[in-house]
């Protein structure tokens, strides 16, 4: 598996990963009807970078890293992760997280925060906890899940 910065030639591969996740409305607080152009702008517009994981020419996942807040909070970064539909259970999310943690330190961030981890996303929560993230907050019924109804969102944090 190789991780590298995305470029405009990756747009079709990115959209193929983003579309099913965004359209499902099950993990990201993003309009499920977001256009391809707006989704790509959102995902690749992160100030610290956007990356793609691949095996050969096969895309396995993507993540972005960005500054979570400005001013006095600019030392904390935030990331978003999406694995390709056929990449589940292959260690792609963990590899992307490891890469993001290394890049965050190199970029000078002092901490990483996930602002809105859905409480039913147990696989992600387990990965983040195993990587040393703490759940530091719970937002009661903050997300209207299309299948599970109103569910909590977690705030997770790790000092780098």
Task: Count the domains in the chain.
Answer: 1
pLDDT mean over 134-138: 98
Categorize the per-residue pLDDT at 47 as very low, low, confident or very high, splitting at 50, 70 and 90: very high
pLDDT of residue 88 exceeding 90, the answer is: no
Q: Is residue 130 part of a domain?
A: no
Structural domain boundaries enclosing 68: 2-112
**Sheet of strand 76-83: strand arrangement:** 2-5, 50-55, 58-67, 76-83, 111-118, 149-159, 134-145
Q: What is the CATH number of the domain that holds 47?
A: 3.40.630.30
pLDDT per position as a tens digit, 71-86: 999 999 999 999 998 8
Within a domain: 54? yes
The partner residues of 52 in beta bridges, in order of sequence, read: 4, 62
Q: Indicate whether this model's pTM tops 0.85.
A: yes
Backbone angles phi, psi at 13, to 5 degrees: -65, -40
**Cα–Cα distance measured from residue 72 to residue 66, given in angstroms and rounded to the nearest whole number:** 15
């Amino acid at each position: 598996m190789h991780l590298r910065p995305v470029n405009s030639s990756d747009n079709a591969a990115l959209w193929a990963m983003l579309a099913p996740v965004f359209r499902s409305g099950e993990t990201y607080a993003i309009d499920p009807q977001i256009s391809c152009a707006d989704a790509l702008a959102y995902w690749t517009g992160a100030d610290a970078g956007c990356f793609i994981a691949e095996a050969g020419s096969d895309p396995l996942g993507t993540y972005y890293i960005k500054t979570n807040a400005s001013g006095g909070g600019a030392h904390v970064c935030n990331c978003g992760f999406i694995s390709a539909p056929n990449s589940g259970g292959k260690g792609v999310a963990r590899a992307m997280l490891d890469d993001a943690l290394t890049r965050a330190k190199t970029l000078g961030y002092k901490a990483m925060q996930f602002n809105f981890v859905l409480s039913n996303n147990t696989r992600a929560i387990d990965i983040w906890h195993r990587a040393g993230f703490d759940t530091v907050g719970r937002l009661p019924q903050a997300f209207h899940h299309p299948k599970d109804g109103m569910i909590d969102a977690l705030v997770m944090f790790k000092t780098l």
